[in-house]
Amino acid sequence: MKVSIMVVGPIKTNCYLISSLGELICIDPGDEAKEIIKEIKMTEKKLKYIILTHYHYDHADAAEEVKAALGGKIIIHKNEENYLNFQPDKYLKEGNNIKYGDEELKVLLTPGHSAGSITLLGEKEVFTGDTLFKDGIGRTDLPGGDEAAMRDSLRKLEKIIKPGMMVYPGHGDYYQA
């Protein structure tokens, strides 16, 4: 698995391009669609999925433009359905496995920042969206946010994230647990 990070938009959202063999997934294309498309084209890999960790504009606004240019299926958790202004290709649920190349990521529902916030768990890495940052956690005061759910999600992640794993948040620096 090769992970490339693009920081996009005014809120400096981390957009991840993750490739394995001839396939690529894009996590949280929030802005700067043309730049994301350019980067993906340069990899010469097939875009399989556009994964949204939650519905907020800074993580989702470029998804449709990237799909229109390169294909790939837009996927997001079902709990975000009422907040979307577009129709994704598939809704995710807890425990789904997202396969690409010879890799896969497991979908963990980690609500709190939004009702359908997800974390994507790999063997040695975890993509936390806006649930967990290097120096903090996501806000819970936006529509769909829930402070008690966030506490539960953080307890869940505490059990799952092992020492040495790479943690890739929705904003800010990535780090080793």
Asked whether the beta carbons of 139 and 145 are under 8 A apart, the reply is yes
Provide the pLDDT for residue 141. 96
**Confidence label for 77 from pLDDT (cuts 50, 70 and 90):** very high
Task: Read off the tokens for 112.
Answer: 């709190």
Amino acid present at 49? Y
Give the list of residues 6+ apart from residue 152 with CB closer than 8 angstroms, or none. Answer: 111, 112
**Confidence label for 28 from pLDDT (cuts 50, 70 and 90):** very high
- Give the global pTM: 0.97
- Selection from 160, 101, 151, 102 nearest residue 127 by Cα: 160
- Selection from 97, 53, 57 nearest residue 76 by Cα: 53
**Confidence label for 27 from pLDDT (cuts 50, 70 and 90):** very high
pLDDT (mean) for 65-78: 98
Provide the pLDDT for residue 152. 98
Provide the pLDDT for residue 135. 92
Asked whether the beta carbons of 4 and 34 are under 8 A apart, the reply is no
Provide the pLDDT for residue 11. 96
pLDDT (mean) for 74-86: 96
CATH architecture of 2-176: 4-Layer Sandwich (3.60)
